[in-house]
Amino acid sequence: MHGVSDGHRDGSLVASVYRWVVGRPLRAAEVTSEQITPVQGLSALSLDALTSVAYGPEAILVVLAFAGSAALGLVLPITIGIVALLVILVISYRQLIDAYPEGGGAYAVSRANLGARVSLLAAAALTVDYTLTVAVSIAAGVGALTSAFPALSGATLPICLAILVVITALNLRGLADSARAFLLPTLVFIVGLLAIIATGLVHPLGSTATHLDRSLVLAHPTETIGGVLVLKAFAAGLTSLTGVEAIANGVPLFRPPRVQRAKQTELLLGVILAAMLLGLAVLASRYHVGPTANETVLSQIMTLSVGRSWAYYIVSLTVTIVLALAANTSFGGLPILASLLARDHYLPHLFGLRDDRQVFSYGILTLAVLAAALLIAVNGNTNRLIPLFAVGVFTAFTLSQSGLVVHWWRTRPRGWERRATINAVGATATAVATMVLLITKFTEGAWVVAIAIPSFIFLFTRIHRYYDRVSRVLALDQVPSPPRKRHTKVVVPVINISRLTEHAISEAISISDEVYAVHIALESGDQPSADSDEEIMALWKRWNPGVPLRVLHTEYASIADPIVAFIDELHRRSPCQIVLLIPVAIPDRARYTLLHNHLDLVLGHALRYRDDVIVARVPFRIPTDEDGPAAGHGDATR
């Protein structure tokens, strides 16, 4: 005969669908199969950075366009500066992976070297950045899709949310599943775009640049070419570096040896991203490409390199796909970060729990909810999200590198001066970039980030304060006093006399010798109940279970109030432990659950804040038709 849990598993449609979506439970020994390789790390943790070539170079050119066409030539030296910073960041994060292989990135290094308060700033900044990454990536991908197919523009938000649901479901199955699913489009994107760049550099197959529409390049510049303009363009292009930190945050996701594989992925990311950025900058400068209202800079460069050929359309379609899939980077990083925060008592401990698939499902679902709320708030509009982007991640960059400077100074391994110098230069550069980003984009929407980060810090602090208080009250670090045996009284609510009642009374007398059965009688002169006091008392006397039955009269419809009053009466008679044992029928199919009265929910709600009553359920399984009638206590409780 099937047990209760089997009935639920077989009968619950929701549970069946969920299991079909996320897959079967994994044993601890199988977790290695869900960990990723360096190549899979590109699709799982690096798409955010790699796909930034679709909007990073364009962001530089949009700023330079305000100074006229003569300023567009600065795209190459500015990109060289960004790539130099990328090199520093890659070296820095490879060092961070060595020093903190448990993951957590900027949070871990800040907590170890800069103190708990500074680490909360890093955690809050990363939380904001990860949420924005999901929203921006999906919105950008859908934006590219609706540009190619304008008829879909009215469904932008539903498409965004649908993509979010798919990515969430894949990550609930495990990061390896999402990495494998996204690997093919990632490789097509990387190989295809590098091939197009190489073709454009060696022997372009497209048309000349003379026919390009430069509608966004001002004929009468509103800004002069100078340090401020260059700094703004540099800050705008820094969006190309978002996502570089994700690999260091997700080291535990890699197969052993984790540190070596994570460092290989970080190096692969740095080399590929640098090649793409420099190649696109050279081509943009060579072809005098500028921003237009109708075509992206990346599309212009690809057109000039290979024309509107099959290669152009394949890579364009792949760019659209990987832009949306770049949200996967956050799903690899935030759950790990949330688990570390939970370990340190800054987030609810459930964020540190793995589910049947060995993933941090609460972190994944929370990220999905936050990203969905953000997408709904901006109606899937990428332009409303971009000004908020990059501030959080560059704050984390600065803190992680500053923390590494302190780490090298404290540990002083061989060559620590060189390492500390690299990190100090990087920390200074990213700190300046953070300030420029915040100042130049503050009125455009970055003020939201300036509010969100302190709000998260406040939340983390309040949660930690609560856990500290609970730790003191529970004396978690002390040996407790010897346990004390207390006299127990058991109260059993009785609706009618049945096998369910028999089952509950049997359990009650197994717990205590002092058991009270209580029946609620509603006093109503209009229509007396079929189970009157006399009838149920007569049946109880005939049954004679050895337990007294107390009939509680009430003029109100509430069943809970008379029982709570009876429990209070027992407490007044003598201090004791009271167990409220509620009989509950468990149907063989989940769809029948609504057909039963949920006395346990009503009483549980009424007593949810009482610490002097133990509320417990006594389940009695309703067998299937094939099983026949229930055959006793053993069958019911198995």
Region 103-107: mean pLDDT is 78
**Structural domain contains residue 548:** yes
pLDDT at 389 over 70: yes
**Regarding predicted confidence, which is higher, 147 or 631?**
147
Which residues form the domain of 524?
Answer: 488-637
- pLDDT band for position 325 (50/70/90)? confident
For residue 30, is it within any domain? no
Domain limit, last residue, from 444, 470, 496: 470
458 and 604 in a single domain? The answer is no
Residue 487's Cβ-count burial label (10 Å; 0-12, 13-18, 19+) is exposed
Sign of the alpha-carbon torsion through 226, 230, 231, 236: positive
- Rounded distance, CA 404 to CA 88, Å? 13
Mean pLDDT, rounded, for 173-197: 85
- Please tell me whether residues 443 and 500 are part of one structural domain: no
Let me know whether 262 and 406 are in one domain. Answer: yes
> Is 512 contained in some domain?
yes
Q: Write out the DSSP string of 551-579.
A: EEEESSS-SHHHHHHHHHHHHHHS--EEE
Task: Identify the pLDDT of residue 532.
Answer: 65
Looking at residue 194, its pLDDT comes to 94
List the CATH number of the domain containing 236. 1.20.1740.10
CB contact set of 20 (below 8 Å; sequence gap of 6+): none
Q: Are residue 518 and residue 452 in the same domain, yes or no?
A: no
pLDDT averaged over the chain?
Answer: 82
Secondary structure element (H or E) that encloses residue 345, with its range: none
**Crossing angle between the packed helical segments 106-113 and 391-411, to the nearest 10 degrees:** 40
The CA distance from 171 to 359, in Å, is 8
Domains: count for the chain:
2
In the prediction, which pLDDT does 482 show?
Answer: 86
pLDDT at 1: 36
Would you say residue 34 lies in a domain? no
Return the pLDDT at 506: 93
Residues 466 and 493 in one domain: no
Predicted local confidence at residue 444, as pLDDT: 75
Establish if 570 belongs to a structural domain. yes
Q: Which two tokens stand for residue 373?
A: 């709320």
pLDDT tens for 80-100 read 999 998 998 898 889 888 888
Highest mean predicted confidence (pLDDT) among 66-75, 167-176, 403-412, 424-433: 403-412
pTM of structure: 0.75
> Is residue 40 in a domain?
no
- The answer to whether residues 445 and 557 belong to one domain is no
* Residue with more model confidence, 628 or 254: 254
**Within a domain: 315:** yes
Where is 550: in which H helix or E strand?
strand 549-554
Q: Sorting pLDDT into bands at 50, 70 and 90, what band is 161?
A: very high
Residue 329 has pLDDT above 90, yes or no: no
Are both 362 and 439 inside the same structural domain? yes
* Averaged pLDDT for residues 201-207: 80
Same domain, 389 and 445: yes
Q: What percent of the chain has pLDDT over 70?
A: 86
Q: Is the pLDDT of residue 65 over 50?
A: yes
Q: Contact at 8 Å (CB) between 137 and 324?
A: yes
Supply the pLDDT for residue 402: 92
* C-alpha span between 178 and 164 (Å, rounded): 13
My answer on whether 455 and 569 are in the same domain is no
- SS3 call for 291: coil
Q: How far apart are CA 334 and CA 575, in angstroms?
A: 49
**Residue 477 DSSP label:** T
Reported as a pLDDT band with limits 50, 70 and 90, residue 487 is: confident
CATH at 512: 3.40.50.620
List 579's β-bridge partners, or say none. Answer: 490, 614
Which range, of 3-17, 249-263, 373-387, 447-461, averages the lowest pLDDT?
A: 3-17
Q: How many CB atoms lie within 10 A of CB 486?
A: 8
Taken as a whole, the chain contains a residue count of 638
Strand pairing category for 514-522 and 549-554: parallel
pLDDT, tens digit, 9 for 90 and up, residues 591-619: 777 777 678 888 888 888 888 899 999 99
Q: pLDDT tens digit string along 523-542?
A: 765 554 544 678 888 899 99
Q: Is 465 part of any domain? A: yes
Domain end position, chosen among 418, 442, 470? 470
Are both 319 and 170 inside the same structural domain?
Answer: yes
One domain for residues 552 and 452? no
pLDDT grade for 465, boundaries at 50, 70 and 90? very high
Q: What is the pLDDT of residue 15?
A: 62
Determine the pLDDT at residue 629.
53
Q: Residue 173 pLDDT > 50, yes or no?
A: yes
**pLDDT confidence band for 496 (50 / 70 / 90):** confident
User: Are residue 309 and residue 210 in the same domain, yes or no?
Assistant: yes
pLDDT at 96: 85
Which residues have CB under 8 Å from 100's CB, separation 6+?
Answer: 108, 109, 112, 248, 251
Q: Say how far apart CA 393 and CA 132 lie, in whole Å.
A: 10
Q: Give the model confidence (pLDDT) of 212-247 as tens digits.
A: 455 555 545 555 667 778 888 887 888 888 888 888
- Rounded (10°) angle between helices 56-64 and 297-306: 100
Confidence tier at 9 by pLDDT (50, 70, 90): very low
Res 10: pLDDT: 43
Mean pLDDT of 322-339: 85
- Domain boundary among the residues 438, 470, 502 is at 470
Q: Which of 97-111, 488-502, 556-570 has the highest mean pLDDT?
A: 488-502
Alpha helices in 174-245 (DSSP H): 175-202, 227-237
- In terms of Cβ atoms closer than 10 Å to its own Cβ (0-12, 13-18, 19+), residue 151 is exposed
d(CA 422, CA 87): 10
Which residue matches tokens 């045996």?
485
Report the pLDDT value the prediction gives residue 521, as an integer from 0 to 100.
84
